[in-house]
Structure formats: C-alpha cells, structure tokens
Amino acid sequence: MELPKIKILEEFDKRLREVSKEATFPLTDKDKQMIQDMITYLKMSQIKEYEEKYHLRAGMGLSAVQVGVLKRIFVIVEETDDGFKDYIVINPKLLSHSEEQIYVGEGEGCLSINRPVEGIVPRYARITIEAYDENGKKYQIRVREDIAIAFQHEIDHLNGILFVDKIDPKNPYKDQDKMREI
C-alpha cells in the first residue's frame, strides 16, 4: 500500500476555523479521489507496519477541511475483527441524539492537533444522522459509543470547531461525574 499524497492541516491553519460548504452531486473525480485517499491514509495509520514506516499517528476520522477542501465531507475508518469498516459521510444532518453523554477517558485526539491536550469533551452516547454516500444516495445511520464520538468530532470540523474548543480551560474535567467514560 502506498501512502496517499495528502497534507493534513495543522491546528493553527485558519481554514480549519471556516464552515464547510455543502457538497454537490455528482461529486467530482477529484472529490472521489480525496475520499479514497483519506480512507487509505486512515487505514494505513491503524496498521502498525505502515504507522512505523511512515511515522503516522493513528487516526479514525478525517474531514475534507483537514486536507484543505471546504466541503461537508468526512470519512471514518473503524478497525473491526474482520478488517475495516468505512463510513463515507457527505452533507450530514444530526436528526437526534441521546440524553446520555460520554467522553473518551484518555482524551480525544485529532490528526490536526500535534500536542497533548488535557481534559474531556462531552459527547452524546448515541446519535442518528442523515447523510449522503459518494453516489448521492441519501441514508440514515444511528451510531453509538466511540463511533458516535468520531462522527460528532468530524461534524464539528465541518463547522469550524476543534475538539479543544469544547474543553473548559479553567476546569478541563468539568461535569465529568455527569458523564460516562468510554
């Protein structure tokens, strides 16, 4: 497998603070290639051999804005017992969410933020979204736990929000007792 030629923007790049525009269908060949490159990059980042060879940090999700494209597109690559499950999410709309909130115990990470960050990010335990696949077919999906966190993290990117924005700087573990750790 060859590492795709994508450049992930660093946290101080102003483009990461912009709200991405709706993607239009049919997608361009360039957009389709970007989606495949992001998926390949994420898979390689989760495979030890490639992680070490290319000095990658493991990642589970990437939004188009993180590679400099301001379109409402993101991908999630989940490692499963059977290999990888890819989620291609275009123009997502949040339909519903659980009341229960969760957070990642060791803290969230982001491929655009190359520094340790203390604190917790409150997220919904379950969400339902409506989105489109790469062929413009509308679908609904309900996700939970770590995948729900990844979806919310990437939707934030599309809205110009980084996970560090959701951590209270004065009290990074605020309301921890009101949420469940995963």
Domain containing 142 — which CATH number? 3.90.45.10
Residues catalogued as catalytic: 154
Give me the long-range contacts of 115-121 (CB less than 8 A, separation at least 24).
117/163, 117/164, 117/167, 118/167, 118/172, 119/167, 119/168, 119/172, 119/173, 120/167, 120/172, 120/173, 120/174, 120/176, 120/179, 121/149, 121/153, 121/163, 121/166, 121/167
Domain carrying residue 121: 14-181
Distances (CA, A) of 31 to 13, 107, 157: 21, 31, 17
Predicted TM-score of the model (pTM): 0.96
Q: Is residue 32 part of a domain?
A: yes
Res 1: pLDDT: 86
- Give how many domains the chain has, as a whole number: 1
Q: Is residue 177 part of a domain?
A: yes
Q: Is residue 89 part of a domain?
A: yes
Residue 60 domain flag: yes
Q: Is residue 2 part of a domain?
A: no
pLDDT tens by residue, the chain, 182 residues: 899 999 999 999 999 999 999 999 999 999 999 999 999 999 999 999 999 999 999 999 999 999 999 999 999 999 999 999 999 999 999 999 999 999 999 999 999 999 999 999 999 999 999 999 999 999 999 999 999 999 999 999 999 999 999 999 999 999 999 999 99
Does 100 map to a domain? yes
Q: Which residue has the tokens 């497998």?
A: 1
**Ramachandran category for residue 159: left, alpha or beta (phi over 0 → left; psi -120 to 50 → alpha):** alpha
The DSSP letter of residue 170 is: S
User: 1 lies in a domain?
Assistant: no
Do the domain assignments include residue 126? yes
Are 23 and 90 in contact by the 8 Å Cβ rule? The answer is: yes
